[in-house]
Chain A
Amino acid sequence: MIKLTIDGREVELERPVTVLEAAKRVGVTIPTLCYFEGLPNFGGCRLCLVEVERLPKLQTSCTLMASDGMVVRTETEQIRAARRAMLEFLLINHPLDCPYCDKAGECTLQDLVARYGPEAGRFAEGKRKHPESLDDPIIVRNMERCVLCTRCVRMCEDLQGAYAISVSGRGGHSLIEPFSGGRYDCEYCGNCLTVCPVGAIMSRLHRHSYRPWFVEREVETVCGYCGVGCSMVLQVREDSIVRTIPRFGLGLNNGLLCVRGRFGYDAVDGEGRLTTPLIRVEGRLEPVGWEEALAFVASRLGEIKDSHGGRAVGAIASGRCTNEDNYMLQKLMRFVIGSNNIDSAARFHYAPAEAFLESVFGQGITANLIPGIADSDGVFVTGGDPTAINPVLGLQVRAARRSGGKVIVLGPPGGLKRFVDHELVPMPYSDEVVLSAIVGGLMEAGRSSGENRAVEERLKELRLPSEEELSAAGIGPEALARAVDDLLKMTNPVVILGPEIMDGARASKRLFLVGAVAYLMNARIYLLSERPNYQGVMDMGCVPDLLPGGGPIGLEMLRDRIEAVLGLRVPEEGGLTLFEMVDEAERGGLRALYVMGEDLLFSLPDRARVQRALGRLDLLVVQDIYLTETAAMADVVLPAAAWSEKDGTFTNLERRVQLLRRGRYPRAGREDWRIIADIGGRLGMEKTYRSAEEVWEEVTHASPLHAGLGYSEIAGGGAVWPYHSEPLKGTEAGFAVQGLGELPGVEAPGGPYLMPERPLFHSGTLSRRSRALLSIHPEPYLVIPPSLSEELGVTDGGRVRVVGAKGTMVLKVRIDPDQREGTVLLSNTFEGANFAGLVGFTADPVTGCLTIEDNTVRLERVDDEAL
């Protein structure tokens, strides 16, 4: 126990901390510039000087460790004079352009000068000059204003791990610069903006557009880009969002954001935002009033239900919509129309993966807390780059590595490149060979507890690869043995599972093997989620076979319960998955489809087939914020409210329910749940709702999982799974795994495999509406390995024609030295140049996930003259 006195106040410390932190505990704030909680100490600004008895000089409290019996004074005349002197030093080269600087009003230097002076400067010689750098599309650097506290550099190196900026030059000529000197070309997390105490590094998005005191409202909400669910604050002036910022101490991201969250907020203000409902009249979409549109949808749905029955109607829910929206769509389908045909794009990867893992290990196996990753001593990552799919979760992996944990990545490591101990990059579609070998290694070391009989029984069937087979898959047996050794040393491990683990045949086997690795190591599993609310979509029952709360539709007890709560009947007949709905529509069995916030035509492969299927529908209703490719085909288009324009809840990948709050009113659209409730009302739904909270109120009754979980509790941040009720245990249903006893041979494909790129700067099609994100990543490109560029004779930026099984595109090439041989990447973001437009698909027979087919492509160089 350390006891010391700070400004006459007694402080008792359990463990040694700096004097600055000790002072903070008793409410004494010591002014600082270079100190920032969470960053390594620097000791450069010399503002936190304090007097310590028996020490001759003033001491910097941020570096001085508190020791027993210290007597510290933080505000004396001597200290004030020293601080005044330090501020005068800082100001001699700091331009006094506060009236012009966007930071004024929230500038630490300004506040400190106001508090400690000096009133007038005595420096008469010329100030250091350096032109403002506007080379970067997003970040503006003004090095005249920089006070060289290096918070940004430490943030970039020690928390973000991007190593993108550094101090260059020496002494008074020091500058903070990205290594190129101009553009950043970094991860654009913008966390350097948060920590800059002055106006040296600022965002260009809101440059000169407002002053901090013009902000009228600050709204705490949750980011709408991925499944991590970072908390952020929307700053609102006159019903428009001027910027989004994170806040230290708020949410699981604790002050960090990624590029999409920080800069992508303008995606809701892109061009072509829908302003009015549209109805197809003589082949053209014509604007109509809300009443007319709603009445039309209700009457058509009613007609189809009456003539063909409920099973001829289907609905697609959305991972970008709130729990309330999805619940309402589910209610409309199940209880008003009487159809279990409801599914979402979570069907591609997230929902089948979770359903499969739960069938093996029990409900809630993937519900683990994200901040816990940093505390683990080992991370096994496979199926995608967490730093691109869920960037803030990826930071946790980096943090784990930095504190001594081992990181093993199976597959291309992407943003974890500099944070990997074992990089296992197998040949395309040979992951299961490597996974089998890892499982074999773990079993050999006697890692089976016997806890899960079913798993261990199945593992006996597993055929382990020989050394030759392993080498043929591209992994040396020694490299694998070393990785397994490190896996065995982990005591508190984490397994992170991305969507790409489901790509290719036998998805169930790979999932099972990853699950087995986690089981044998006693690891926590994290399932990466590309959309903010995939988990919520499932929890709200937007899956053909599950009711709200995640209970199987076949369980009579649950059916009875929900029927009693709602006073409505659950339809008997089983529902169709997304893929089955497409099939059924193509066959003509499905007559009407209600699509909420999803661009089926764009995100599903085999565009021609999907187009054909959608074209055969009698009624296609699309509810979205933009006129997407799917919406352009629709009979009725209903404009919706976007993420920052509505209240509601999101459930993130760790199954934390978080509150989404309205930042501004929608310009034209309405909240999704309200539109659906209006249609439901016209179809005979009796209950009416006034707010999202009332919808949630019903959810807490209908879903056993969310019982008693009110908005106030969610707002407190405590809505972590398992909420109040016990989760469903048991795996009586059993599970099937395909092909455990066999191993695929490595077959030579007819060309490189085209694989989906999941870029950091984009997220589906929404992000292409954001001017900010577009300025970083403006156009589509095909990522190819250097060997292929030589073979084709193309250089970086050259063009190739990609001939796929389902389409042909001419694309710009980006040569990436880290790109895996035999594969090329394309994102699914840009219109006319998307991954899904080139390949075919089928549904996995066991898990029901999306399996990409026919994705070998032929590349031809295109000379510019030919264009």
Chain B
Amino acid sequence: MTVHELIRKVFFVEILKGLALTLSRLFTRPVTRRYPKEKRPAALGFRGLHALVRNPATGEAKCVGCGLCAAVCPSRCISIYTSEGPEHQKVVDRYEIEVLRCVFCSLCVEACPFGAVVLTPHYEYADYTREAFYMTKERLLENWDRFMGREGYEYFERFWNPKTSHFSTPRNQAVFGKDR
């Protein structure tokens, strides 16, 4: 053991060095977040909880019940029940997503010809019961209002919208449904 080594040992130099780093970190920004208090914003394209888009003109769901989302869904978690309405139009009676089975592939969003179903940036939906994950049409529309309608609209516009939200039938073409 040399003198140099002895001095380092007696005066705990190594430890002080380490403590100096620790001390210095006290004055830098932390890299972790204090999650429940501090929420991380979802990145563009994040696939969170499902929502059904409200048609701003009517306030109803844009969905017409074509069933393409159910057809394309790899985990078969979408069920749609339609019937004939009083004016012989197609009415979506039930639109259900079983979120527990969903794999968040977003193929349903891509398949939808009307841009009527989206994945919101909302991810905080853990719950204690399974029932909470069975999304009915009403709950899916509520999701839209809560997570997309106002503050999320930009997210919707910028990420999901470009593909399909402007889908509409040209004025001079045959139209269908209620608009006839």
A188-217 vs B, Cβ < 8 Å mask (1 yes, 0 no): 000000000000000010011111011000
A residues contacting the other copy or chain, number (CB 8 A)? 26
* Residue A417 interfacial (CB < 8 Å): no
Which among A72-80, A93-101, A174-182 touches the partner chain? A93-101
Residues on A with beta carbons closer than 8 Å to the beta carbon of B68 = 99
Contacts of A134 in B (CB 8 A): 88
Residue B71 at the chain A interface, CB threshold 8 Å: yes
Q: Is B22 an interface residue (CB 8 A)?
A: no
A126-B173 in contact given A134-B88, A208-B90, A214-B67 (Cβ < 8 Å): yes
Say whether B173 contacts A99, CB under 8 Å: no
- Chain A nearest CB, measured from B163 CB (Å): 15
- Is A157 positioned at the interface, with any CB of B under 8 Å from its CB? no
Within 8 A of A (CB), among B84-131: 84-85, 88-91, 113-114
| Chain B window 70-83, contacts with chain A (Cβ cutoff 8 Å), 1 for yes, 0 for no | 11000000001011
* A125 at interface, CB cutoff 8 A: yes
Contact of B66 with A by CB under 8 A: yes
B177 interface residue per 8 A CB criterion:
yes
Q: Are B174 and A97 in contact (CB under 8 A)?
A: yes
In whole angstroms, how far apart are the Cα atoms of A208 and B90 in the complex?
Answer: 6
User: Given A100-B90, A208-B84, A208-B90, do A127 and B174 touch, yes or no (CB 8 Å)?
Assistant: yes
Most buried by B among A99, A100, A101, A214: A99
Looking at the assembled complex, report how far the CB atom of A143 sits from the nearest CB atom of chain B, in whole angstroms.
11
Q: Report whether A213 and B82 are in contact in the complex, using a CB–CB cutoff of 8 Å.
A: no
- Shortest CB-to-CB span from B93 to chain A, Å, is 9
Bound form: Cα–Cα A104–B71 in Å: 12
Contacts of B83 in A (CB 8 A): 208-209
Q: Mark A75-113, 1 if CB is under 8 A from B, else 0.
A: 000000000000000000001111111001100000000
With the chains together, A134 CA to B87 CA distance in Å? 10
Given contacts A208-B90, A210-B82, contact A100 B176 (CB under 8 A): yes
Q: Is the interface of B mostly helix, strand, loop or mixed?
A: loop
Chain B nearest CB from A641 CB (Å) reads 26
Q: How many A-B residue pairs have CB under 8 A?
A: 62
Within the assembled complex, what's the spacing in Å between the Cα atoms of A100 and B176? 8
Q: Which residues of B contact A100 (CB under 8 A)?
A: 64, 66, 90, 176-177
**Is residue A132 contacting chain B, with contact meaning CB distance below 8 A?**
yes
CB pair B70–A95 under 8 Å, yes or no, is no
CB of A129 within 8 A of CB of B71, answer no
B176 touches A95 (CB 8 A): yes
Closest to B171 in A: A126
Residue A144 CB within 8 A of the other chain: yes
By the criterion CB–CB under 8 Å, are A96 and B88 in contact?
no
Which single residue of chain B is at the shortest CB-CB distance from A213? B71
Please state if B82 and A129 are interface contacts (CB–CB under 8 Å). Answer: no
Pairwise interchain contact A99-B84, C-beta atoms closer than 8 A: no
Q: How far is the CA of A144 from the CA of B66 in the complex (A)?
A: 19
Are B91 and A208 interface neighbours, CB within 8 A? yes
In angstroms, how far is the closest chain B Cβ from the Cβ of A715?
30
Asked if A95 and B174 make an inter-chain contact with CB atoms under 8 angstroms apart, the answer reads yes
Nearest-Cβ distance from residue B43 to partner chain A, whole angstroms: 31
* Chain B residues near A131 (CB-CB < 8 A): 180
Interface size on B, residues (CB 8 A): 26
Asked if B58 is at the interface of the complex by the 8 Å CB criterion, the answer is: no
Complex CA gap A100/B66 in Å reads: 6
Choice from B84, B172, B174, B175 contacting A125 with Cβ under 8 Å? B172
B88 touching A97 by the CB < 8 A rule? no
**One of A95, A209, A211 near B66 (C-beta < 8 A):** A211
Contact present for A127 and B67 (CB under 8 Å)? no
A464 to B67, CA, bound (A): 71
Smallest CB gap from B88: residue in A: A134
Assembled-state Cα–Cα distance A98/B88 (Å):
16
B113 touches A129 (CB 8 A): no
Q: Which residues of B contact A210 (CB under 8 A)?
A: 82
B71 A211 Cβ-Cβ under 8 A: yes
Least CB distance, B115 to chain A, in whole angstroms: 12
**How far is B71's CA from A224's CA once the two chains are assembled, in angstroms?**
33
Residue of chain A at shortest CB distance from B116: A99
Segment 139-180 of B: residues with Cβ below 8 Å from A: 169, 172-177, 180
How close is B86's CB to chain A, nearest CB, in angstroms? Answer: 12
Residue from A99, A101, A104, A129 in contact with B114 in the complex, judged by beta carbons closer than 8 Å:
A99
Which residue in chain A gives the minimum CB-CB distance to B67?
Answer: A211
CA distance A129 to B175 in the complex (A): 9
User: Residue of A at shortest CB range from B170?
Assistant: A124
A104 to B169, CA, bound (A): 18
Nearest-neighbour CB distance to chain B for A226, whole angstroms, equals 30
Given contacts A97-B174, A134-B88, contact A208 B82 (CB under 8 A): yes
Task: Among A96, A126, A204, point to the contact of B172 (Cβ < 8 A).
Answer: A126
Q: Among the listed B85, B113, B175, B180, which residue makes an inter-chain contact with A99, where contact means beta carbons less than 8 Å apart?
A: B113
> Can you name the residue of chain B whose Cβ is closest to the Cβ of A206?
B84
In the bound complex, residues from chain A placing their C-beta under 8 Å from that of B65 are 208
Also in contact, A127 and B173, with CB within 8 A (given A100-B90, A208-B91, A213-B71): yes
- Is the beta-carbon distance between B176 and A97 smaller than 8 angstroms? yes
On whether A213 and B66 interact (CB within 8 A), knowing A134-B88, A208-B90, the answer reads no
- Point out the residues of chain B lying under 8 angstroms from A132, CB to CB: 88
Chain B residues near A127 (CB-CB < 8 A)? 172-174
Q: Which of A101, A204, A214 sits near B70, CB closer than 8 Å?
A: A214
Instruction: For the complex, give the distance between the alpha carbons of A104 and B111 in Å.
Output: 14
Q: Which residues of A are found within 8 Å of B169, using beta-carbon distances?
A: 96
Chain A residues with Cβ below 8 Å from B174 are: 95, 97, 127-129, 144
A213 touches B67 (CB 8 A): yes
* Separation of A536 and B54 alpha carbons in the complex (Å): 58
The CA-CA distance from A176 to B91 in the complex, in Å, is 28
Chain B residue with the shortest CB-CB distance to A142: B176
Kindly state the separation between the CA atoms of A99 and B64 in the bound complex, as whole angstroms: 7
A-B contact pairs, 29 of them (CB 8 A): A95-B173, A95-B174, A96-B169, A97-B175, A97-B176, A97-B177, A98-B66, A99-B64, A99-B68, A99-B113, A99-B114, A100-B177, A105-B71, A126-B172, A127-B172, A128-B174, A132-B88, A204-B84, A207-B88, A208-B65, A208-B82, A208-B89, A208-B91, A210-B82, A211-B66, A211-B70, A213-B71, A214-B70, A214-B80
The 8 closest A-B pairs by CB, nearest first: A99-B66, A95-B174, A97-B176, A211-B67, A208-B90, A126-B172, A208-B84, A127-B174
Beyond A95-B176, A100-B176, A213-B67: 17 further Cβ-contacts under 8 Å?
Answer: A95-B173, A95-B174, A96-B173, A99-B66, A99-B114, A100-B64, A101-B176, A126-B173, A128-B174, A132-B88, A134-B88, A207-B88, A208-B89, A211-B66, A211-B67, A211-B80, A214-B70
**Contacts from A to B (Cβ < 8 Å):** 95-101, 104-105, 125-129, 131-132, 134, 144, 204, 207-211, 213-214
